[in-house]
Structure formats: structure tokens, C-alpha cells
Structure 1
Amino acid sequence: MAAEPEICVLSNGRITANIASWGATITSLLVPDAQGDLADVVLGFDTLEPYLKGMAPYFGCIVGRVANRIKNGKFDLNGVEYSLPINNGPNSLHGGLKGFDKVVWDVVERKDGEYPSITFQYESKDGEEGYPGDVTVRATYSLPEATTLRLDMEAIPANKATPISLAQHTYWNLAGHNSGSILDHSIQIWAKHVTPVNENTIPTGEIMPVQDTPFDFTTEHKIGDRISDVPGGYDHNYVLDSGDEKNGLKHAAKLKDPSSSRTLDLWTDAPGMQFYTANYVNGITGKGGAVYGKHAGVCLETQGFPNAINQPNFPSVVVQPGAKYKHAMLFEFSA
């Protein structure tokens, strides 16, 4: 059995992250503004108990075995039909009823010093939440620079081909987790296309240009400027196809808060990013008694495309036994 869940601290003197072994979850992240004043920029809870009780709408966790939605919770692989738990309308979402966000990961390595890191590991069993094969999953959070958080995820299937697509599901509010709506934040997304969705939020299979639509963030816009033109708000997968590259990672998004001037630059090697504006968050009491309402945070979930396992024209999320799934992201903060 895995150990009791614990909260680990990762700090380099400039930024401090609290990361729980439950779901490899970022529960708090203190980041300076231009004056050096720290604010906690992620939504979450003060203690582990609300996470353990399932009160978090995926606050800060790693989701898998497959992030986002799988249509009707079904897929065929190598001639076998697999059925997954349905937990989101008619779909299976974020790995099912007990995905990687709702289990204890083992802390397998810790490094202190100038470049601290923590590595979590989880052994996912054959048949878990309906998925085929045993998979060993690792997630390493590190602080490679003064105000940069890095996450490296990898997964190796032992004995069967299986879909794997992990995502980091933090809700960001760069003004501070308790500062209300993110509609005043501005964002630029290096994506000229999105994957439009049907009434059940499943991609239709189309790759749609964002030009002349409210989905166009190829130049910086306030999140709230056109959100009313998107029924329900933003909850869409962007095709990351136009960012600069750095160390094998491409620029996915730049998020800015006008009040604190904090900026988050996100870099990744994933093909897609779910841009989600916390449309379904509704009166959740979080850290310090703060009440999180609709649009209290924004998620930038780098990922494989939603429902890719059922969409042959999307990049494949199937990983063969012994092959290695890898997914990295860099969260660079400035002010």
C-alpha cells in the first residue's frame, strides 16, 4: 500500500510550491510580483481533507490515465472494445471515477539545494478504471530557475498497448487565489486552430481556424472580452501550432494579470492545450475561507487532444508496451 498522503514543500527562496502526494497536486504556489510581494496563485484547499473527500473540481492535480473526455466512455484498441466509467454527461472524463488525481503517489526521489525537485510515482494496474495494461507513471516537479516551475511526466506501459494522455489541472489566478474573477487577465495562445466540440463537449474531429472567431488569442486579449460569445465559456482544446521553441518545448500561452503585473509563460511539448475558464466552479470554499465562484481561475491543461483515441485524424495517444510517454511543461513567472 502507498503511504499516507502528505504535502511536500518545494522552494528555492523565490517561489515556494506545496505539492501533495494525493494526485501529485499543487496545493499552493507562492510567486512574487514586481515589488517582491508573494501571493498564492493557485486555487485549492488549506488541508488535504477536502481533496480526499472529492470536493475539488480537479484543483491542481495530475489527471489520467487519459485527460479530458472520451466519447461515451468507449474505445477500440487492437480489436478489443474497452468501456470506461461515465462521469461527465455521457462521457468518461479525466481517467474516470478514480483517476490519477484521486490516488496516493509514492515520493520516490527528493533533491534539495539550488535546483530542488520532487519525483512522484504511481503504479496503475491492468483494468484500473477500465484501461488496459499495467503502467508505471512518474511526475517530477522541479525549480530549474529562480521563478520557474517545471513538470516532467512520463509513463511506461508494461504489457499492453494503452492510451495515455496526462495533464496538469491547476486553476491559475495570478492576482492571488482569493482575488475573484480572472476575466480581467489577458492571454495570448500560440494556436491558430481549435478542435470545435458538440453539445457534449466532445470534439467533432474538425480542426477549425480561430481567425475571426472569439477563440482567436493569437494576439493578446482579455479573457472576458468575448467570453459571452462562447456558450458556457471557454472549455476548448487549442492546437499548439505556432509558438517559438526553446529546449524542445514550444510556447503555448502567456497569461498576465493587470493588477499585480504577474505573468505566466507556459511552454510544453504537448500537441494541445485545454483553455478552461472555470465555468462550472460555483461557491467552493477554499484556502483561508476564500469562496471560489465561476471564472475564479483559468486552467491551461497541456494535453493530447480530447477523445483522440476515437479520432483517427488526431495525434495518437496510444503507447506501446515498453515505449515511453513523455510530457513536459515549464511555468515561467515574471512581473
Structure 2
Amino acid sequence: MQKKLIGLIDDDQPVTLFTVKNKNGFEISCMNYGCVITKILASDRRGQYENVVLGFDTIEEYGQNAKYLGAVVGRVAGRIKRGTFRLGENVYNIPKNEKNNHIHGGAKGFSHVLWDATVLEGKEETTIEFTYLSEDGEEGYPGNLEMKVTYTILNERDTLSITYKGICDRDTVVNVTNHSYFNLSGNLQRDVLDHELMIESSTYLELDEEFLPTGNLVPVDDTVFDFRKFRKIADGVDSVHPQTVLVGHGYDHPFLLEDNSGTIVLTEKESGRKLIVETTESAVVLYSGNNLAGSETMRGEQVRNYLGVCLETQGPPDSIHHPHFPSSILLTGNEYKSTTIYSFEVIID
């Protein structure tokens, strides 16, 4: 376990980088700014440990971080239509930070603020515990929400477990996820188009022209949205399906997980890396990096489309406007809790 001051942000507040390495060589780096995961070193089939997530080198770059690389996003991940919602008799107006809509918790949300951090070291695991008080009215949301996010790394296995907990003194809405972009080729050697993905889901959510769920639950059968057997990310990019074309040639869609939980598996055959994602959440948003390209550079690489893929385990976006979706409402005094486990393995030929 190592701690390192990496810079200052938000009126000269110190930002600390935490790095945990287990006995195998598996390594996680994260910081108390936005709970951002900056690096994950995972083994390929030759035993070579390389970085498998997108990230920047400096805190100044993370201060912008318009693509939410590695960050925890909330209070509510995804879009909320027209930046407004009703809870009981009250109507709340929250910032419209993406055209006509609210996205990923607002201008700062959870992703662009400093969290308190505590390291808990045990015999079998190391945990970094982040806590943050989102005060009543922050980004327009009601209630004082006490949030805790824990990153736990096992000593014997190449596994990262993320648990989110929250309790609020007023009825509010909470739907939190981590926004890491995975690229299993290692050190950005290739894009993710040849990555193969499996999702235990028979239904995805149709999107409108603003990438908001229409409310329609669409069967995946006989479409490029059927990931019940392994399918390449490239299938959606090359498809002329109206939904893949809509989001910029690829995926940016929520998938409902079977029995409100499920397993997601991502593989990259050339490196031999496999990522297994298990979650207590009811959905996963698959984003294939269709709109990553821009003027930014990332660790010497020009940022380009399809350089990473997000697997955002969460409740369905904009559920506050769709009563038939699993709810994001957190009642006063109740606990919000969600866990996602990321296990890195090597493909056995």
C-alpha cells in the first residue's frame, strides 16, 4: 500500500493517490478526487501485467475529465430528462449540464469533488474507504446524503470489489456507478472493437434522439444487442441498426440483467485477458466509446473512438420518469447499497 500526494485542486486542496498491489502483481491506483481509478494492472497469458483502463497522468487533466474516466458518478448516473423530477408533492429542478438534460449528477456531482479517504489493511484484503457528504440542495438534489464507497483488493486473487452505501435525511434519488473505460489489450495497444462481450440479458432499453430511455423494453433476439453468447463490440459499430447508428455507431444502451442481477464477461483473445463483472444491480449501461475522439491526449496516445468500453453497473437511467423501471428513490433513513465485483483472469485455451 502506497500513498502519494499528486497535486492540488479546488482552492489548493491536496489530492492523494493510493496504490495497492497484491502478491500476484495485480495493482490498483485510485485517488480521493472523484474516487477515480487511474490504473489497473492485470496479467495477460504470458504473465505480463499492463494497464487495462483509460486514464490521465496529471491531476490537472482529471480536473476537466469531461468523459468521467475512472470516476464514481452520482448522485444519479446517466441522464435525467429535462433536469427535473417529482418526489411526492415536491418538484426538483437540477442543472441541465448536457443540452436539455441533466447527466451524471451535475457539474461536479460525485466525480469532480474531493472525498475523505481511510485505508483499512487486513490479512486477506486491503480496503480504501471513501466518504462524502452531499449536502441538501447540492446540484439541486434534496437531503443530506452520506455516501461511502469502498474499493477492496484481495491479496490472493486479482479482484476489485466496489461497494456503494448511502443514507439520507430526506427522500431523494440515488443511482451510483463507476465510469471506468476498460481496454484489455494492455497499455492501449489496440482498440476494443475485437473485444468479445457476454451479458446475461434478454432485454435492452430503447433510446430516443437525446439518448434517454423511451420506456420501451426491447427483446435482444436476432439483433446486435444479443450478448447472451459472446459477440464482438465491432458488431454494433458496423451495424446499420437504427439504435446503434443513433448513438454514433456503437452502443450506449442500458441492458436489464436477468433476475435483477447477472454476470458480464469481457475478453480480448490476443492478450488472453478476461474480465468477469458480477453485480447486485438491475442493469448495466454498455458504452463502446463511440464519442471519445477529441483533441485530448492520454498518456501519449491521441484519444480516439472505441479506445475503451464502459460497463456501468447501475439501475436503469431516468427511472424516476418510468415507474415500470427498478426505482432509484431512496426513502428517508433507508440505506442505499450496491456492490460490483471485477475479477481479472486469463483465458484458458
User: With structure 2 as the length reference, what TM-score do the two structures score?
Assistant: 0.90
Query: Which residue type is aligned with residue 64 of structure 1?
Result: G
Matches within 5 A, 1:46-57: 46-52=57-63, 54-57=64-67
Equivalent residue for 1:67?
A: 77
C-alpha distance in 2 between matches for 1:228 and 1:326: 37
Equivalent residue for 1:285?
A: 297
SS of match in other structure, 2:37: strand
Equivalent residue for 2:255?
A: 238
Equivalent residue for 2:318?
A: 307
C-alpha distance in 1 between matches for 2:332 and 2:12: 24
C-alpha distance in 1 between matches for 2:96 and 2:83: 6
Write the deviation string for residues 175-225 of structure 1: whole angstroms up to 9, x where unpaired: 124223100000011110001111111101111111111111111011102
Write the deviation string for residues 144-184 of structure 1: whole angstroms up to 9, x where unpaired: 34211110111111x21000000110000001242231000
Write the deviation string for residues 210-245 of structure 1: whole angstroms up to 9, x where unpaired: 1111111111011102323211120000000169xx
Equivalent residue for 1:321?
A: 332
User: Residue 56 of structure 1: CA displacement?
Assistant: 4.2
Describe the shift of the 1:182–1:90 C-alpha distance in structure 2 as closer, same or farther (beyond 3 A). same
C-alpha distance in 2 between matches for 1:93 and 1:213: 28
C-alpha distance in 2 between matches for 1:240 and 1:2: 43
Equivalent residue for 2:117?
A: 107
State whether structure 2 residue 99 is matched by structure 1 residue 82. no
Instruction: Supply the RMSD in Å over aligned alpha carbons.
Output: 1.6
Higher relative contact order (CA closer than 8 Å, sequence separation 6+): 1
C-alpha distance in 1 between matches for 2:315 and 2:84: 17
C-alpha distance in 2 between matches for 1:290 and 1:260: 19
Q: Is the 8 A contact 1:124 1:135 kept in 2?
A: yes
State whether structure 2 residue 286 is matched by structure 1 residue 269. no
Q: Is the 8 A contact 1:274 1:301 kept in 2?
A: yes
Query: Which residue type is aligned with residue 41 of structure 1?
Result: V
Describe the shift of the 1:238–1:183 C-alpha distance in structure 2 as closer, same or farther (beyond 3 A). same
5+ long unaligned stretches in structure 1 = 244-249
C-alpha distance in 2 between matches for 1:55 and 1:306: 21
C-alpha distance in 1 between matches for 2:187 and 2:164: 25
**Equivalent residues, number:** 326
Q: Is the 8 A contact 1:120 1:138 kept in 2?
A: yes
User: Residue 112 of structure 1: CA displacement?
Assistant: 5.1
Equivalent residue for 1:183?
A: 193
C-alpha distance in 2 between matches for 1:56 and 1:150: 25
Query: Which residue type is aligned with residue 56 of structure 2?
Result: F
Q: Is the 8 A contact 1:276 1:300 kept in 2?
A: yes
SS of match in other structure, 1:204: strand
State whether structure 2 residue 36 is matched by structure 1 residue 19. no
C-alpha distance in 2 between matches for 1:275 and 1:2: 36
Q: 1:172 aligns with which of 162, 168, 182?
A: 182
Equivalent residue for 1:147?
A: 158
Equivalent residue for 1:246?
A: none
Equivalent residue for 1:247?
A: none
Q: Is the 8 A contact 1:192 1:242 kept in 2?
A: no
